[in-house]
Structure 1
Amino acid sequence: MARSREKGPWFWRGMIGAMLASVFGLFALAAFTAAPATVAETGCRMDRKDPAHTVLLIDQSDPFNPNDLGWVNEFVDNEARTLPRFGRLTVVTPNSADPYDAKIIYSHCSPGSADHANAFLQNPRMIEDTWRDTFYEPMAKEIETALMDKRQPSSPLFEAVYSVADRADFQSSRGDRRIILISDLMQHSEEFSMYRSGTNKEAFSRTRIAGQMPQMSGVEIVARVVPRQEYDLPMSDVKAFWNDYFAQTGAQFSSVN
């Protein structure tokens, strides 16, 4: 009967080398995924290297009704979950009193949702609980309050977009940038009102808004049009107007409905 061949020293050296490589690999993976220093109040990176920044611009010039809360929450939930860990989410509303200073009602960074959890090093359930308790629920509460806010005397959307583009944390060095417009897209301010001028491009070209367009190359703009029983202008014309405006800023505009 043939004797089994004994494993030589090179086999054992290879096994030890493989085990050491696995140990060092795990240490390297843990170091790579280690969390950077963050600001306690916002959960954002102290080095300001936000991997992404999404701004929800909610136009509550006409109050939302309770039936709107469902689709708004679903839409916002999806946007929040797509943010990478430490991605910033800011919620603003137009400011009738000071149009070029949109009201900030929430601005925090995501701790990372369970969708992005590392199954080898993290507990997805704990990740989800942390994401919901420290990030999503506080944001959802602020949004619900904003949606039920009283009717505003104007809707300075162009001015609000300008103020967002001018933010220090919304510049090209801050990773992927998105602006989500939750609105009926009806601009209405002293400088330009679609209720007075419609989508007249010549009238718009004479305004200060047209003369100081922000530079938003690389920014993605997405409109989620608020449903109304009847719109004051054909929505196709309104969307085309916004598309032309954003094309001049260098941004990419689209609508989900």
Structure 2
Amino acid sequence: MGTAIAVIAAVLVLSVIGAAFWWSDQESRASALDAETLCPETTGPLAMTAILLDLTDPLSPAQHAQLLARIDKEISDAARGTQFTLGVVSEDPTRWGATPPLCKPQDPASANRLTQNERLIAKRYESDFHGPLRNRLLAMVSATGANRSPIMESLQALVAETPGFVTFTGPRRIILVTDLLQHSDALSFYRGGTWDSFRASSGFQRLSRTLDSAEIGIYQVPRPTEGVKDPAILEDFWIRYFERQGAHVPVVTRLGDL
């Protein structure tokens, strides 16, 4: 009887050990990340955020500090596995597009202190994700001076060149840092453009529908001269533009400095 009990006990112990190894292997596979993008290997990105920077005019020091703080909060609030890309508005089409994607990995705040090395997770988060993403942002947050501001065209280039964004069915978010003053051949607020004039133009036929159900956050940079007599024209245009794209109504925050 004693021998049988000992055998049963040994089998149970081996079963527990085997189950622990299986669970550990499954956890390891589930948490495995792509070496370049840091996106989950098994599922790919779980959400996507694309940030477009329209900074052809300089920011004041206060606006610059506000912007970095707000983008940092966007990153901090994003779910683990969210893919980030950045793009700029430029009169030079060769500068349009998206930076290489980076997914948000586990951050130290979510570390299990009993089974994980919080300090190592923090180091990896900063060196592999947050540091590189912030460096890209800092390199792009600088005024270059330009005669044109093709916001719509640059946005579509960012969306098109962000891997998987157009067909992604999970949560999608667009963040625009801009004065909203579209100025290109398709539409120019400086030439008196409105939604009605755009809708009557040939440019309207080129309008894509690539933002279905996307959330839109706009950090509006106020300029000393905003180029149009009635700011309501800007609001009306962009609400209609994103509605036509299938996106949610934009949430606008002004980056003031007074």
Quick one: structure 1 residues 226 and 120, their matched pair in 2 at CA, closer, same or farther if it must change by over 3 Å?
A: farther
Alignment deviations for residues 69-99 of structure 1 (CA, whole Å, 9 cap, x no partner): 2111111111112333332100100231228
Partners of 2:24 and 2:77 lie apart in 1 by 23
Q: Could you tell me whether the CA contact under 8 Å between 1:186 and 1:194 is conserved in 2? A: yes
The equivalent residue for 1:8 is none
The equivalent residue for 1:57 is 52
More deviation in 207-216 or 70-79? 207-216
Alignment deviations for residues 91-128 of structure 1 (CA, whole Å, 9 cap, x no partner): 100231228x7243453222232344344533333323
Quick one: structure 1 residues 130 and 69, their matched pair in 2 at CA, closer, same or farther if it must change by over 3 Å?
A: farther
The equivalent residue for 1:188 is 183
Q: Could you tell me whether the CA contact under 8 Å between 1:87 and 1:110 is conserved in 2? A: yes
The equivalent residue for 2:239 is 243
Moved over 6 A (4+): 20-23
Return 5+ residue gaps in structure 2 as ranges.
1-7, 254-258
Q: Could you tell me whether the CA contact under 8 Å between 2:50 and 2:159 is conserved in 1? A: no
Partners of 1:176 and 1:153 lie apart in 2 by 35
Partners of 1:91 and 1:229 lie apart in 2 by 26
Amino acid of the structure 1 residue aligned with 2:242? F
Q: Could you tell me whether the CA contact under 8 Å between 1:81 and 1:115 is conserved in 2? A: no
Amino acid of the structure 2 residue aligned with 1:141? N
The equivalent residue for 1:175 is 170
SS at match of 1:63: coil
SS at match of 1:91: strand
Quick one: structure 1 residues 171 and 119, their matched pair in 2 at CA, closer, same or farther if it must change by over 3 Å?
A: farther
Q: Could you tell me whether the CA contact under 8 Å between 1:50 and 1:174 is conserved in 2? A: no
Q: For 1:98-109, list aligned pairs within 5 A.
A: 98=93, 102-105=96-99, 107-109=101-103
Following TM superposition, by how much is the alpha carbon of 1:252 offset from its aligned partner in structure 2, in angstroms?
Answer: 0.7
Paired residue total: 243
> Could you tell me which of 111, 115, 119 is aligned with 1:121?
115
Per the normalisation by structure 1, the TM-score is 0.79
The equivalent residue for 2:256 is none
> Could you tell me which of 27, 32, 45 is aligned with 1:32?
27
SS at match of 2:238: helix
Return 5+ residue gaps in structure 1 as ranges.
1-12
Amino acid of the structure 2 residue aligned with 1:226? V
Amino acid of the structure 2 residue aligned with 1:225? Q
Partners of 1:242 and 1:142 lie apart in 2 by 27
Partners of 2:67 and 2:17 lie apart in 1 by 46
